[in-house]
Structure 1
């Protein structure tokens, strides 16, 4: 079995899942070639697990001041280059394509008639999954950005038969709690984030983002992006402040870290994640860098939920190596623990039952 595995590299979450899958493939009877798009190749880091990977420009969303900039998105993407990349990708050697919402591999597989399997958070969005901030454009993008034949979604709750628990990229680290709060808001103005945190000099913060120089600004220790340092600081943190991306919050839930989250304005996936987190009672949500909201969270940080997600990456790696014939619903039945629904707060359970269609 030989597959091409496409990864949307705009955010770190997709790459984190890919790292977990790369470890799980070791020792199995499967050959995997990796393709990354959505971020300049020189801005990718800690890519050793993927060997000699391929890279294309792909498509990505442009952000500005904590929100989606649709004008910059249109100007910044080259649709003709994308179509050339999809048509010219050589797929002759592959038995199947796997994509984590990566559009070049997905469309190349569709154009070539090769079975394409989607494994990612975006494939969990169906009629019974909490959604928010959607409009005709966002729904069109969600359906057509990276189309697949077999969609396997990832989410915090089994909203549908094709939805599996999160894939986690967590090292074996001690989790003795220190006094710092980990902050990762990569789409915000970092100087504004620092000023927001400095309003609370009694609390230590560790702020991560690409392009930051390592230095100390009062009670805020700034760090450039680094996988190892970030995971160590996550393991020892007393809580996490982040945008509403799926992967980091999944890691926080697994390691029982309280979360204060700010969804990216205008981004359907993050707004929907925030809605799900509120309904599940898994995190507190803010929509601006509000001092009062941060003060309240620091003073009354809620106990994190008790959840445990299994080794989904290992199950999926074996599934792919054996030909990916088992139905997604059978995988979901095996991977969700029995307590998944009964452990929900009653108010969240009733809210989920009321979701007969996505919010508009």
Structure 2
């Protein structure tokens, strides 16, 4: 079998899922080519696993100071380039197209009548799940941005819907746990403001990752550029995670039983809905604003956060894809949530 796998590269979560899926596709002997869109090629990192991958412009949202800037999003979008890339993508040599909310591969598969399967957190919003600030426009985006013949939504709970648990790129880390260590990943915030916010909190050690940061030590604050292995090591060793409300990092943190606080990206319905779901499930603390006092109160609290454990969804999906007679999605969902 030969697969083209499209990955939305705006955030690192989609890429993390592709890392998990790619391992099992390769182990099964599947020839897989990758196409990433939504981020310039020079901003991608630690991509060796994906071989000779393609990078396209695609579509992405522009953020500034923790909020979506719809004006800049509109001006930086190139619908013409997107349409050209969709029409130019030749799928004749592929048996299947996979898409993790990547629009070029999804729409090319539809135009060329190629079998296609989509999976990702965004497809969970096609079901009746907790949502905040949902509008007819956001529902249209989730439905038509990257459609496929089969769509597998992922979430932290099934909400009595045919949704799958998260795909988690787990790697074994034999590292000591540091009860006072906090992993900080707030890529949509001003990184200087993040560092200044953490300066008074000298009782804790902060590992801060973000765009534009260099490797440096400022007393109890350790800043890092974006890099896969150091980030995974710090995630494994920390006790707390402070982040925006993206899906994949929170999924990995939940699996590792970390205490979590999220600050959802304002104006981004998906992140605000994620924060709402985390609140309802008692899986994390939510704050729509951040300052030193708010973070200090969270770190010092004894909140009764719930802990969960998810099955190996990446392997289950790969087995499902390659089965001679795959079950329906609802059955797959029930099997995994058991």
TM superposition score category, shorter chain reference: over 0.9
User: 5+ unaligned residues in a row in structure 1: which ranges?
Assistant: 338-360
For 1:184 and 1:58, how far apart are their aligned partners in 2? 25
Corresponding position of 2:297: 296
Aligned CA RMSD, in angstroms, stands at: 1.4
The superposition leaves residues 38-85 of structure 1 with CA deviations (integer Å, 9 ceiling, x where unpaired) of 000111111111111111111100001101000010111111000000
Corresponding position of 1:22: 22
- TM-score (norm. length: structure 2): 0.96
Does the Cα contact within 8 Å between 2:126 and 2:139 map onto a contact in 1?
Answer: no
1:72 matched to 2:52: no
Query: Aligned in 2, Cα 1:50/1:127: closer, same or farther, shift over 3 Å?
Result: closer
For 1:30 and 1:6, how far apart are their aligned partners in 2? 15
For 2:64 and 2:15, how far apart are their aligned partners in 1? 22
For 1:323 and 1:43, how far apart are their aligned partners in 2? 39
1:167 matched to 2:167: yes
Q: CA deviation at 1:301?
A: 4.4
The superposition leaves residues 91-123 of structure 1 with CA deviations (integer Å, 9 ceiling, x where unpaired) of 001122110000111111111111221110001
Query: Aligned in 2, Cα 1:324/1:51: closer, same or farther, shift over 3 Å?
Result: farther
Corresponding position of 2:337: 336
Does the Cα contact within 8 Å between 2:126 and 2:143 map onto a contact in 1?
Answer: no
Query: Aligned in 2, Cα 1:209/1:251: closer, same or farther, shift over 3 Å?
Result: same
Corresponding position of 1:91: 91
For 2:102 and 2:325, how far apart are their aligned partners in 1? 19
Does the Cα contact within 8 Å between 1:16 and 1:169 map onto a contact in 2?
Answer: yes
Answer with 44-53 or 196-205: which moved more: 196-205
For 2:126 and 2:88, how far apart are their aligned partners in 1? 32
Corresponding position of 1:33: 33
Q: CA deviation at 1:320?
A: 1.6
Answer with 248-257 or 128-137: which moved more: 128-137
Does the Cα contact within 8 Å between 2:241 and 2:260 map onto a contact in 1?
Answer: yes
Does the Cα contact within 8 Å between 1:258 and 1:303 map onto a contact in 2?
Answer: no
* SS of the residue 1:318 aligns to: helix
Does the Cα contact within 8 Å between 2:154 and 2:165 map onto a contact in 1?
Answer: yes
Larger RCO (alpha carbons 8 Å, 6+ apart): 1
Does the Cα contact within 8 Å between 2:21 and 2:314 map onto a contact in 1?
Answer: yes
* SS of the residue 2:36 aligns to: strand
Q: CA deviation at 1:156?
A: 0.5
Q: CA deviation at 1:204?
A: 1.5
1:239 matched to 2:235: no
The superposition leaves residues 303-346 of structure 1 with CA deviations (integer Å, 9 ceiling, x where unpaired) of 54231111110111122223673211111111112xxxxxxxxx
Corresponding position of 2:255: 254
* SS of the residue 1:316 aligns to: helix
For 2:257 and 2:80, how far apart are their aligned partners in 1? 45
Q: CA deviation at 1:136?
A: 3.0
Answer with 48-57 or 23-32: which moved more: 23-32
The superposition leaves residues 263-290 of structure 1 with CA deviations (integer Å, 9 ceiling, x where unpaired) of 0000011000000000000000011123
For 1:290 and 1:273, how far apart are their aligned partners in 2? 21
